[in-house]
Structure 1
């Protein structure tokens, strides 16, 4: 019986637990976290909800702190078949809820240290555990997972972001052709900033760079769909509840890594690449699945260019992030010091300064 290990239970981890318990493809779920009482209550709620929907997974709770010296030993003892983790010191929705205009003015990448620092700590425990099963990183994966791969071992794949763009594309393509959505074949390359642009209550002035192919029975309707993406409004509430959408995006990715048969999906950071891609995933691994018309170098270039819309100029080979001038200026205004770039080793110090602004 395959074991899915969930590390910690923040808003996203909790949503993934609820979704996975009801899904039927995860017979044994293990939650490893510091807050045992909270985790047991969440696990009980997930079991009850799943049972009401006819699913009865085994859910265990294990005391675990990836900052502790015994973290590698606990991971080794659990021996998961698959691990999912999305730790952060400061989730984006908490910043959004702060009501502080100065904090909201900081581009998304300005908060990178808060996402990268805990993932670096978890990765250190993972490496020492000497486990070799796949793992999925859900914390700003387009960038964080790429940095992890540049500096050591990294997650096999991420979740969300690019895959969350697909419903709007499918809806528009179906309306344009009067075609049933299952008859549409879509391939998309794009970064985190694309997904954050899609579901707003206003027309989009400028979309980040992306590649899109939409086929209906061999007919290419990509241009017609692409022209509508900026003008069609499709608002959702941008608060903590949006994690339920990301949890839905996680299910097929997690299930595919336990499957002998490949899944054709979209996901960020396959094998540490920056940005999101169409992929084939199975227990054998992850492979980018581009249309024949697109070269991998072209897709990589599109996602590298899209980083500017998050506030990043470039990511160097050692994982150092070069911020845009706008991001660097906003960080100086908030922190009172120059941060034109972020080296991975400096992430904990910068994260502590940023968290102090919101706490």
Structure 2
């Protein structure tokens, strides 16, 4: 037996690691892939998409980068077109991933940031809720395929999980958990709280309940706007609740703690995703923040285990109150309510912005009509954006 064979024989068997499938290989998934391959607990990966040659090359780039760092995982590639539910189900049944990371969307959130600044700011007044069809459509197709495949995989969703999760939960198709959004603001709040309290960031423990609107608004404007939330700050290993001035805390995020956003900011979302994926891969019970655990609306502090996240709310805050806060914050994001059949009702003020600028008016949307609304929204936005080229 060669020396190299003996070395491989003493390593952890790849079969004992979870197989993680990444669906939708855009910028976010590429960053997630690089992080996964740097960790021996998560370095068994398969990439799924329509352009298999491109994603194979992206996979090789990440694989070779990991090799430079002394890590030797595995990356495979499979063809997947989410619009073909039957074929997607067959692929899932054949590959049998333990975890699926959903990074696919019909239009990235950052597309509108490429508009002229004044135009972007005007359109951004519509908030994120009206763009839901662009993120719900592919998730709906994926979750239908997961159900048809018969594979007991867990799905981690990065595409507007705050609203996609609760809509699909109404029909029994919710992804296991989401990533980003509430998780993206917690590190800055932790550093800001540590600064105000005179503590080291490692000694400050936050638990935040908030929907996407809050995590998007505070870093841009330094206050909570119309967003309902609940924030608990503790020190001394989590034993002592700290009283803190929220206004002074939030103001730092638009000043001394302001960060890069846009495509650069996706590094932060990727790290939040990997925290969840690693927690699931290792069944660690790590404290994290995540949107839509088990299909709940908005974001929560959770303990991450093999099967997703369980709520880890601060003392005195009930599950019902946390859900209510997130539903209130969801209205500020342009979604008034979600009916029991998955029909989404959008807020009038935010949808009126979409109508005025794009000529797109969707007061309510049945789940079965989501793809049609996404097609209409995509066409009307493309026509609108073409006027600025």
Same fold (TM over 0.5): yes
Unaligned segments of structure 1, at least 5 residues: none
Deviation at 1:252, TM superposition (A): 1.4
1:279-301 superposed Cα distances (whole Å, 9 cap, x missing partner)? 11211543111122111111111
Structure 2: how far apart are the matches of 1:198 and 1:299?
Answer: 19
Deviation at 1:203, TM superposition (A): 3.5
Q: Which residue of 2 aligns with 1:30?
A: 46
Deviation at 1:229, TM superposition (A): 2.9
Residue of 114, 121, 128 corresponding to 1:108 = 128
Q: Which residue of 2 aligns with 1:208?
A: 227
Q: Which has the larger radius of gyration?
A: 2
With normalisation by structure 2, the TM-score equals 0.87
CA contact (8 A) 2:290 2:301 kept: yes
Identify if the C-alpha distance between structure 1 residues 51 and 162 changes in structure 2 by more than 3 Å, giving closer, same or farther: same
Identify if the C-alpha distance between structure 1 residues 356 and 84 changes in structure 2 by more than 3 Å, giving closer, same or farther: same
Secondary structure, counterpart of 2:82 in structure 1: coil
CA RMSD of the aligned region, Å?
1.8
Secondary structure, counterpart of 2:55 in structure 1: helix
CA contact (8 A) 1:159 1:267 kept: yes
Residue of 190, 196, 204 corresponding to 2:216 = 196
Structure 1: how far apart are the matches of 2:31 and 2:380?
Answer: 27
Identify if the C-alpha distance between structure 1 residues 123 and 284 changes in structure 2 by more than 3 Å, giving closer, same or farther: closer
Structure 2: how far apart are the matches of 1:206 and 1:103?
Answer: 17
Deviation at 1:43, TM superposition (A): 0.7
Deviation at 1:199, TM superposition (A): 2.2
Structure 2: how far apart are the matches of 1:9 and 1:254?
Answer: 16
Deviation at 1:86, TM superposition (A): 2.2
CA contact (8 A) 1:135 1:156 kept: yes
Residue of 106, 123, 128 corresponding to 1:89 = 106
Structure 1: how far apart are the matches of 2:361 and 2:72?
Answer: 53
Q: Which residue of 1 aligns with 2:291?
A: 268
Q: Which residue of 2 aligns with 1:318?
A: 341
Q: Which residue of 2 aligns with 1:309?
A: 332
Asked if 1:63 is matched to 2:79, the reply is yes
CA contact (8 A) 2:343 2:366 kept: yes
Write the mapping of 1:1-359 to structure 2, written as runs, cut at 5 A. Answer: 1=15, 2-68=18-84, 69-99=86-116, 100-101=119-120, 103-200=123-220, 202-204=221-223, 206=225, 208-217=227-236, 218-224=239-245, 226-232=246-252, 233=254, 234-334=257-357, 336=359, 338-359=361-382
* Number of residue pairs the alignment of both structures matches: 357
Deviation at 1:227, TM superposition (A): 3.0
Identify if the C-alpha distance between structure 1 residues 90 and 222 changes in structure 2 by more than 3 Å, giving closer, same or farther: farther
With normalisation by structure 1, the TM-score equals 0.94
1:90-135 superposed Cα distances (whole Å, 9 cap, x missing partner)? 1111122133556444321111111111111111111111111211
Secondary structure, counterpart of 1:278 in structure 2: strand
CA contact (8 A) 2:130 2:350 kept: yes
Structure 1: how far apart are the matches of 2:153 and 2:326?
Answer: 27
CA contact (8 A) 1:93 1:238 kept: no
Secondary structure, counterpart of 1:65 in structure 2: coil
Deviation at 1:145, TM superposition (A): 1.3
Structure 1: how far apart are the matches of 2:251 and 2:48?
Answer: 44
Deviation at 1:338, TM superposition (A): 4.2
Identify if the C-alpha distance between structure 1 residues 227 and 203 changes in structure 2 by more than 3 Å, giving closer, same or farther: closer
Q: State which drifts further: 301-310 or 180-189.
A: 180-189
